[in-house]
Structure formats: C-alpha cells, structure tokens
Structure 1
Amino acid sequence: MMGKDVEEVSASLVREYLSRKGLKKTIACMDAELPRTNSSVNNRSDLRRILHLEGLYKQNKAEEHPFKSMLEIIVKVRMSEGDKTKIHHHGDNEAHPLEQTMSINTGVKREPDCMESLLCDSPRFSSQTPSEKTLKKSFAVHPESERSVYFLPSSHDLLTVSKEGFLSEKKILDSDSQKNRSSRIRRGIMAGPIASSLQESNKRRPARKVPSSLTATTEDCRESANWTNGLNTTNTNPPASLEGESSMLSNLHKGIIDHNGYKKMPEVKHRLKNLAPDPKLDGLHVLEMVLDDIENEESLCDVPRTSMPELSLVKTPMDQMTATALKEIIFGSPMACFTEEWKQQNFTFSDTPGLKYGIVQNKGGPCGVLAAVQACVLQKLLFEESSSDSLDERLEVSNVLRTKCLSRALADILWRAGNMKRATVAINTGRSLFIPIGRYKSDGILEMITYVTVETLDDLTLVLEKHVRQFESGPFGCILLTISAILCRTPATIQSDMDVPTSTLIGAHGYCTQELVNLLLCGRAVSNVFDDEMKLDSGNGNFTLLKGIKARCNIGLLSLFEHYNICKVGSHLKTPKFPIWVVCSESHFSVLFCPSEDLATDHCKEEEFDLYYYDGLANQQEPIRLTVYSESCATESAQSDNTDSDLIPPLELCIRTKWRNAVVSWNDTDPIL
C-alpha cells in the first residue's frame, strides 16, 4: 500500500508542476495514460502537508522572485545544499570497540535503556552468523521511534531499520574504504534519534566530539532524516561525493513522517542487501509519477474523491476505416479537418462569480455542442444534484459539483445517443494509432483516439468520471464528445436519421447543424424540429418523409427561424420536461432557463416568471435575469416599449415563439441586440 501512496503523491507533485506551468495538453495526455484514482492528492494544502513543505513554502513566498510549484521549491533547496552540509570524520575507525556508544548532540535526551535488540529475534535472521547477530544487537533505537537511523562509520553508509528488523541502506560519503567494507560493516553505531520536529531539524547545532573516530554530527543525523523523508527541510547541502549516490534513496522514500517528526516505515520487508556501491547509479533518481491540473491555490483537482470501481473495459484503437466514416458524416469528406476553433474548445467552466455554472466558449463554431451540454449541466445542477432551495446557492457551485454535473450530463447525452442500450466514449491517447494512407487528410486528432463501449449507464458514468478532465480541460474536449455521440449512434444510423443522406453534422464556417444539436438533445440526428414525422407529396404518388422529434425531450429549443416562419418548433421541444431551452438566434446557440421546475408543469405560473440567460461566447460578467409577463399582466408602458418590432431584441422574439405576445423586462440589464 505504501508504494502505491508514494506513487500517488509523486504523481500529484508532477501534476501540480504541470498545472502551475499551464501545460494542459501534457496533463491531458498524462491523464489518458495514467489516470487518477481515488487515492490521488487533490489539494495543494494536503500535498504540502504530506511532503512537510509548509515552512519552505512560506519562505519561498517571501522571496523576491518565488517559484510557483512545489517541485521547483524542492529542486531549488537540493541544488543550494552543496556548500552548507558539514560531515566530520575522525582518525581510525577501528580505535574503539563495537560496544562504545557515540555521543550526538541531537537535542533529544538519550536514555541508557534505549539500547535493545531489534533483529536477532526475527525469524528472518535465525540462520545468520553470530557476528551478524552481534551487529544487530549493537544497534539502538529511540523508544518513541518506529524507525532508527544508523551510520556505518568505515564506509559512511546510512542504515535504516524498521521494527520488523529489516534494513535498507544509503550511501553517504566517499568509497575509499570499500576494500574493508566486509569487516567494518559490523561496527554500526546509532546516529541518534531523528529530531522530534521539523522545526528542531532546522536548527543547526555543533557536533560534540568524543575520543573516537566513530563520530557523526548533528548535521549527519538531520541530513539522513531529511533524505529519508524524501525532501530537504534544512539549509544544509550534501557533499559533492554524494553525486551519483542519491538514487539509492528511492528505497527510503516510502515512509510517512508522524506528528513527532519520526520516520515511519511501511509494512514492506527490506532484505539486507549487498552494500557495495553501484558505479552506474545516476546522479539523481526520480521516481515515475503522474497527476492533474487545477488553477486555484488550494485545489489540485476538483473531481470528487469517491471510490471508483475498476472496470475491465476493452479499448478499441481508431483505424482509418472508422476515421474515414466519421469524417464523412461530420464534414462530408475524409479530406476535411476540424478547425482551430473546434480543436481548442473544451468544456471549461467560468470563474466569474455568479456564473461558475457556465461553460466558456473561446470562439465561434461549436456553439451548438456547447449550448446542448450547458443545458444538460443545468438540468443536473438545478433539479437533480442540488438540495438547496436558494437559487444563489444552486448557481454559485463548487468546482467539485460542477465537474460532477458535467460528467453526468455527458453520460445522459451519450446514453440517449446509444438508444438507452449501449454507449461509446472516445478517449485521447496522445499518440498516433495509425498512419493515414490514400485519400485521407490527417488532422492529428482522430488518429490519436481510442474508444470504449459499455452496456450500462452506471458503467458509462464511471468511465466519464474517470476521464472527465479530457472533456473539461483537455485540448479536444468538444471534439471528443462529438465523436463519442456519433460512435454511440453509429455513422450509418445517423445517416438514416437525416432527411438527406448527404447532410453533415458540421456545416459551413465550422457551425453546428441542426442534426448535431438534435443528436445531443434527443439522441437522434434528425433534420427537423417539429413533432414526429411529416410526409410531403412529391408528385406521381411519391412521398418524401421528413423526420422530426418523436418524444418530449428533457431540454427544449426555441428558434428565431420560427419567428420568421422558416420552421416550426413542435411541442416536444418547445415544452420540455425541464424549464431549460437551447436558443437558436442568428446562427448562434445559447441557453435560457428557469430555476423553478413548476414552469414546466404548471401553466398558471406563466403569468409572470423569471428566465435566466447564458451565452458562453458573450463574456458575461454577471447573470442576466429576464422577467416575462403575459400580455394580460404587462403594463401599458411596457407594451408600448415593444411596439416597434425593429427594436425588439432577437432573444425576445425567440421567447415570444413560446409565450406569444409576452412582454420581457431586462431588469436594468442592457438588452442584447
């Protein structure tokens, strides 16, 4: 277990560094190859506490040019150590007998009865020679410590011994005495208990010499404790001879410091290994590590740390045949590619107070996908995941809750597209899975996708919670959802949904077509917004079947095209199950919603009610609240203000396609024209 914890903390440290550097693409690739688990450290304060970096962190913030990441702070301290550590050596190491105890000024009183046999009673060493047992009996352990630190003076190695009686070693100084190592290794002398607190370990104390060459200074003890802890808490530096040796410390990093500052060993049994130095050791050994990204000060990742069962899912790598079929249905040609607006768009939320529920759109193009997802997130947020009656509390959401709502909204969208039977999730691997040949233009996206198919909504939710960062903050979040929805419905079925088989999901200038919006809202890529189907007589007894919306949807749609009699929005979209509408106005999609669910069920509420408007592309700085009055409730002055249709904002015209002759008050907000 401890090894796994070390991996998670190391991963968190790297993710915190990548987050501070803004390397979101790297984080997305890392998430794909080594996903987070419920053991991941998701809070910067927690990470600092686990690594005991609070003091260094405060010192760094006081610097004129402080470093931003904890990894940089650790590296800076390590690099600045070299000229400060002092390790004292005295005379012949064989001048005193094995039983002599050295005197160390550690600031912690040593009791005479601290000496005890740690290893000789262990069954692990029952077959060892008497000399080896004598060695183990000579070790001493602090009574409050679960791990003791020892020096082997002749070879200047550091041994750490757990209560279980197993040793691990660390090279400390030069290797000149290696030739006598076998005889001198039995002269292990206790270096003294580790300082009882990190504060004490920061205080430098002079070494107290004894008339023996077997002397270790306080700095020795502190340095050994700090290296064992996996980080430096002192201002001292190891000597140059430590270069090439420190990679051996990877065996010592798997421990946690208790509240007294002592190093605790995990339940890992360390065997007594050959202590001969390895000339091939690198100057610095860095453990493999991985994690995520979040920009605020305290939170590393806002995904809820819930227990997530592991799914044994088969990942299918993208091949050129599937990629070609996807491009045909999206663009109409395998030679077309996603625009930069699509490539750079994901489902990142706003940090504006009062609008933290809102997904930010970078540039025009994928607004239809963003509006559909935004509406589904609001459904989860307002009516399914929140228990508060206060609108302000429901809309001023936490990072954890909005990410949770996003993953569940995506699950609903894909489950509908899979006809409530199966669903497929596209995942970015960060590396190309096939080399395009023939008539196919690579765009560096489809070639890197692998996808998984699940048979239940619960499994789908788990997969999306595991990979939600790819959608929320990855470079291709919007594209991944679009591809996932197509794979759920399958390209062949989508083609049969459309009135014209040659229709596409992305039209001119990179705009979403109505087919793509309908696929996300109702699970079918039909070309129309009226109810059910419509037959058109094309002459000679032939009919053209036009397909519409078959059932009442969770999310509705209002269109400015209906105001101009270009289309007719049916009741399945105009009167949805939840009072949330995607608004199509002048080639742009945005969202209207009412916080009261009664509006979708009680027509008496339609006399006067509030609607909130959100446009991810508008760079809103505050919520926009509209009050809608029925014609009978509107004052004469309000009605007279709306007599000139040329001055009526398009959004009001969209609202009137559902609430005919309604009067809209913008409540001191400038109308959007």
Structure 2
Amino acid sequence: MGDREAEHTVPQTELEQIASKISDLNKWREIFSFHGLEISNTTHQRGQGSAGDGAPGAGEPAGPRPSHPPCAVPRPLLVPPDTGGQPISLEMAMSLRKLLFGNVFHVFTCEWTKAYFRFREPYSDLAYALEAGKGGTRTILMAVQAHIIKYLLFVRNTEYTHLERLCGISRQEQGEALAAALADTLWAAGGGGRAVVCLVTAAVHVMPSRDYTTDNFTERIQLFEFSEKAATLEFIFDHINCFKGEGSHGVILFLYSLIFSRTLARVQEDLDCAATPLLKFSFGNITCTQVCPRLRTPRLPVWLCGISGRHSVLFGTDSLLLSDWKRERVFHLYFYNGQQEQTTTAHLTIDTHSHHWEEDQSEDPSGPEKRRPSVEMAIRTKWAGATVSWNGTDPFF
C-alpha cells in the first residue's frame, strides 16, 4: 500500500508545481499587460486571435476581416483603472465605427494605429513642429500643428513673438503646447461648454461578437467628460504621454475625443449625408473627408492650407497683420509642410505692391518655365498679384 500511495503522491506534487508556475505566469502576464508590455509568444497570440495578427481564434467569431495586412503595432499606453471616467459601451463602439467607416467591420490601418503626436528635436530649427508624414493622419496632425503655432506665438505669455521663440522650446514646453492645442480644439468642438477626452485602460469593456470586429484598443476606451476648459487642459497635460508616446495610438485617441466632444449626432449632421463616413479607404489608405474650410482672414495669421492635396501650415508672427492694412504692404510668412524632408521653416517675404511677377502677355502662361509654386498661388488667393520671395529656399511645388 505504501508503494501505491507513493506512486499517487508524486504525480500530485508535480501537478501542484505546474499549477503554481501557471499561476505565477498569469500574474506576470497581468502585470505586463497593465503596463502596456507583452510577453512574446507568437503561437499563443495567434491561437487567441489577437487583433491584427493571425487567423480568428476559437474565442472570436467568424466574420468579415480587415482587408489590410497585419502589422506590428506597440501595445497602447494604459491608464490605471481607478482614473475614473465612463467605459465605452458596445453601442457606442458600433456607432463610432459606423460614423468613421460606414460599417462595424473595418478597422484602422497600421499607419493610423502607429500614429502619434511626435515633435522634432527640442531646441532645434523645428522644435515646434510635428512630424506628419504623407498618409491620411496628416490632416489631423497639421490641424493640431496650426493650434500649436497659435499657442506658442500668440497665447502663452511671451515677451516677443518671432520665429526664434518657436525654435527655442524644450521638451516640457512641447508637451504644454500640445496639451493646449488639444484642449483648445476639443473645447471648440464641444461648443465651448464641454469636452470629452478618450484614453485607453487595461480593462476590456466590449467583447467580440458577430456584429463587431475588435481592434484591441477601442474596446478599452474610457471617456472623461469635463465642463471646464481649465480642467480639460490640466487632465490632458497630466496624461500627455497617452497622446505623444510611441504606441499610444495618440492620433486615433484625439480623433475619438473630438467626435465624442462634438457628439456623434452633430458630427453626422456636419457630414450633411447619413451615408457619408468620416473616413474613406483609397488604395489601402484611410483619409479624412471632413476638414472645415478656414476663412482667408482669421483673427490671427495662422492658416491650415490644402495645397496639392496635402495639408500644411502657413503662418506669420505679427499678430496685427490682418487687422492693419498698412502692415500688409511688405511682410513675412512662414511655411511648414510636416514632412521629415523639411529641415528648416521656409521663410517667405510677401510684397503686395510690386507686380513684376506677372507674365508677359506675349508668352504662353501654361509653359513649364512659367509654372508657379502652389504655395505662391495659395497666398495669392488672399493677396492677389503679390510677389513672393523664398529668400534662398527652394520653392515647394
């Protein structure tokens, strides 16, 4: 009997050890997940049908799958579960997906999920500037860029407003400018009475179903609503890495915040058509279809421009430029297109009283030698007949 008991005791001990190790592994997995990390185990991830990688797992129902290829996207930065706010519901997630894509099965491409608010190096010629690239996220990034420039030049307490002030900012000031730009935009979207900030938490609030395709971060969204602009700014600054950190999904979070601040119903009204989604697919890219046109004469000289199908920012440093006609005789503007290839801010001198740029009527204006940079033509939609000098910089066509 003693030998038989020993034979049964040994396997039981081994099972207990195995169970203990599994328990420890699960604890570490929870800790890693909470801090935005991930235990590398490709086979396990594919077996579970994680978003963006592998075939659907046993726990995920079959259904339409995203048409774009999978990609390696860093895990999202997570906020602690006790931060507060309201968890996203399945109904909200489905309504959001329909508004964005027109259906509940499309998900964001790699370009969008990787996008965040990334500044150039502090204390450099482009310390104020965001990297915008060439994809569909460019529209949002450059719209925020315009607000960043407005804040740095005309809103924050500074003794001087000139280009050098934009170049001499620190990483801390970059974060402050981004927080101010995001808060200002969300507050305006909410009509000046409310703002909603979306962040990603560790908890999953929306489970997979046949009626909704998960993307592994929308289902973790927590909504934080504010009734004061100062509180909105403070909260965003306290969580600024959730928008400007790698793996933060920062651009998507801001887009979600913008939509919920304005409300889903009002955004749909803005689109003027119930069947028109906010985003559209084009050759594998997702681009925005709702960019509000800006007046040619805003209160401050900062313009978000759509030039040759790409969004960029044109701005001046004189706050009185558009309120005093005498200042519009000869003045300076600056141009930033968001692309990594641009290493310095383009400096343009505008002369509205010299018309030597006009073509000789005897020459063919359509000839290649007469082609004018698109930036110049955009400027002349405001100041007809103006001469534009690039001051040694190669013109942007």
Bin for the TM-score computed over the shorter chain: 0.7 to 0.9
Partner amino acid, structure 1, of 2:328? E
1:54 is matched with which residue?
Answer: none
| Cα distance in structure 2, aligned partners of 1:432 and 1:27 | 13
2:4 is matched with which residue?
Answer: none
CA contact (8 A) 1:367 1:511 kept: no
| Cα distance in structure 1, aligned partners of 2:278 and 2:316 | 29
Matched, 1:418 2:190: yes
Matched, 1:355 2:123: no
The SS at the match of 1:481 is helix
2:327 is matched with which residue?
Answer: 605
Matched, 1:378 2:149: yes
The SS at the match of 2:132 is coil
1:489 is matched with which residue?
Answer: 262
CA contact (8 A) 1:471 1:480 kept: yes
CA contact (8 A) 2:153 2:161 kept: no
Matched, 1:513 2:235: no
Partner amino acid, structure 2, of 1:513? C
| Cα distance in structure 2, aligned partners of 1:473 and 1:611 | 31
CA contact (8 A) 1:578 1:600 kept: yes
| Cα distance in structure 1, aligned partners of 2:381 and 2:289 | 18
Partner amino acid, structure 2, of 1:668? G
The SS at the match of 1:653 is helix
CA RMSD in angstroms, aligned pairs only: 2.7
CA contact (8 A) 1:319 1:434 kept: yes
CA contact (8 A) 1:594 1:612 kept: yes
1:459 is matched with which residue?
Answer: 231
Matched, 1:395 2:166: yes
The SS at the match of 1:508 is strand
CA contact (8 A) 1:380 1:405 kept: yes
| 1:392-424 per-position Cα deviation (integer Å, ceiling 9, x unaligned) | 441121111121011011111111111111111
Gaps of 5+ in 1: 1-14, 16-23, 35-311, 519-528, 530-556, 558-572
2:310 is matched with which residue?
Answer: 588
CA contact (8 A) 1:609 1:629 kept: yes
| Cα distance in structure 2, aligned partners of 1:394 and 1:643 | 44
CA contact (8 A) 1:369 1:512 kept: no
Taking the TM superposition and a 5 Å limit, the aligned residue runs for 1:251-400 are: 314-351=84-121, 353-389=124-160, 391-396=162-167, 397-400=169-172
| Cα distance in structure 1, aligned partners of 2:287 and 2:131 | 17
| Cα distance in structure 2, aligned partners of 1:474 and 1:619 | 21
CA contact (8 A) 1:432 1:447 kept: yes
Matched, 1:650 2:374: yes
CA contact (8 A) 1:25 1:474 kept: yes
CA contact (8 A) 1:593 1:611 kept: yes
The SS at the match of 1:596 is coil
| 1:81-140 per-position Cα deviation (integer Å, ceiling 9, x unaligned) | xxxxxxxxxxxxxxxxxxxxxxxxxxxxxxxxxxxxxxxxxxxxxxxxxxxxxxxxxxxx
Partner amino acid, structure 1, of 2:238? K
Gaps of 5+ in 2: 1-34, 36-72
Structure 1 323/599 Cα, relative in aligned 2: closer, same or farther at 3 Å? Answer: same
Larger displacement relative to structure 2 (600-609 or 408-417) = 600-609
Structure 1 390/455 Cα, relative in aligned 2: closer, same or farther at 3 Å? Answer: closer
The partner residue of 1:443 within 210, 215, 232 is 215
| Cα distance in structure 2, aligned partners of 1:603 and 1:643 | 34
Q: How many residues align?
A: 319
The partner residue of 2:80 within 21, 33, 41 is 33
Query: TM-score by structure 2 length?
Result: 0.74
CA contact (8 A) 2:271 2:278 kept: no
Bigger RCO of structures 1 and 2 (CA < 8 A, at least 6 apart): 2
| Cα distance in structure 1, aligned partners of 2:346 and 2:131 | 16
| Cα distance in structure 1, aligned partners of 2:251 and 2:244 | 9
| Cα distance in structure 2, aligned partners of 1:640 and 1:440 | 59
| 1:160-202 per-position Cα deviation (integer Å, ceiling 9, x unaligned) | xxxxxxxxxxxxxxxxxxxxxxxxxxxxxxxxxxxxxxxxxxx
Partner amino acid, structure 2, of 1:354? D
Taking the TM superposition and a 5 Å limit, the aligned residue runs for 1:484-563 are: 484-509=257-282, 510-515=285-290, 517-518=291-292, 529=293, 557=294
The SS at the match of 2:320 is helix
Q: Give 1:358 shift.
A: 0.3
Partner amino acid, structure 2, of 1:347? F
Q: Give 1:25 shift.
A: 4.8
Structure 1 391/643 Cα, relative in aligned 2: closer, same or farther at 3 Å? Answer: farther
Q: Give 1:454 shift.
A: 1.1
Q: Give 1:603 shift.
A: 2.0
